[in-house]
Amino acid sequence: MFEENIPVPQFVREKYPFAKLQPGQSVLFECAAEKRRGVGKAAYRVANYRKWKIIVRTMPEGVRVWRIS
């Protein structure tokens, strides 16, 4: 049976808060070595979508992302 006027649930998938970075800020994501590649890929995906310039570097304790512009 079909139903009407059922609201669509809001789905916000924000595993990493890259969208909150301002130019000149950086954030460190502490993670295991096998997760670091995924963090970097997610950062570049968000930056590409928002037309940002970022730098991603692997540190001993995790991944650091700098927003340049």
Domain assignments of the chain as residue spans, ordered by start: 20-67
Stronger pLDDT, 64 or 19, i.e. the higher one: 64
- Please give the pLDDT value at position 4: 92
Question: Each residue of 10-21: pLDDT tens digit?
Answer: 877 778 888 889
Output the CA–CA distances (angstroms, integers) from residue 37 to 6, 31, 50, 57, in the order listed: 39, 10, 20, 10
- Please give the pLDDT value at position 11: 76
- Please give the pLDDT value at position 56: 96
Q: What is the mean pLDDT of the chain?
A: 91
